[in-house]
Amino acid sequence: MGLARRMLGRSRSRGKGGGKGKGKDGGMMRTGPPGVPEVKPEKLCGELWEEPREKLGMQLISEMAQGAAHWQSVLKDDSRRSYAAFLPKGLTNEQCSHYFATTRDETKWMQPEGKNGPIPRKTAWATKQGCTCSYRYGGIEVEPMVFPPWMIEILNIIMPKCGIHTQAEWPDSCNMNLYEDGGMSV
């Protein structure tokens, strides 16, 4: 609540006018510490933060998967080349239940140790046959397991809905996290 109030221009302790709010032009004011000059990132392509994806030959999944798959865009920011979409009912409820249980029960989950003890989730790293790369993050390394048969089944169902029709174009790896209860986190 305190963060939301500060963002809206009010702080619990300082009352009206003491927080961060809209500037003279209606845009949000700086969010950094007082007295430290704000450094804005450089725009790389005129008024855009990134080169246009069309110039680079990039397509969105929703464009590649024309036809039966009806992707719904929830974020489309061309200036930053930032996108998010989802596919409602990409799997049936039965498929979701089946593949969740299979993934949970047939994956060799690990819970690596971080500098403060075990990380607060279980993790696994799956790769295509022949790939021996490990997954590293935050000083933790997870060894690969070869895509199990159920992963190939999932890819066979989902990849065409993403406009990816040949196995050669499939992802070659998958990071999986298992959160067993409300006490586990990212």
Q: How confident is the model at residue 37, as a pLDDT?
A: 79
Digit-coded pLDDT (tens) for 5-51: 333 333 333 334 444 444 444 444 556 677 787 777 676 667 777 77
Phi-psi region of 117 (alpha: psi -120 to 50; beta: other; left: phi over 0): left
For residue 117, the surrounding DSSP H or E stretch is: strand 117-118
Phi, psi angle pair for 100, to nearest 5°: -65, -50
Residue 74 in this model has a pLDDT that exceeds 50? yes
In the chain, where the domains are located: 1-26, 51-88, 93-178
For residue 95, the surrounding DSSP H or E stretch is: helix 93-106
Digit-coded pLDDT (tens) for 105-127: 999 999 988 888 888 899 999 99
State the chain's mean pLDDT as an integer.
Answer: 80
Closest residue by Cα to residue 175 from 138, 156, 147: 147
Tally of CB atoms within 10 A around 2 = 11
- Rounded to the nearest 10 degrees, the angle between the axes of helix 149-158 and helix 93-106 is 150
Model-level pTM greater than 0.95?
Answer: no
Distance CA 186, CA 179 (A): 9
The fourth-level CATH superfamily of domain 93-178 is Alpha-ketoglutarate-dependent dioxygenase AlkB-like (2.60.120.590)
High-pLDDT (> 90) share of the chain, %: 45
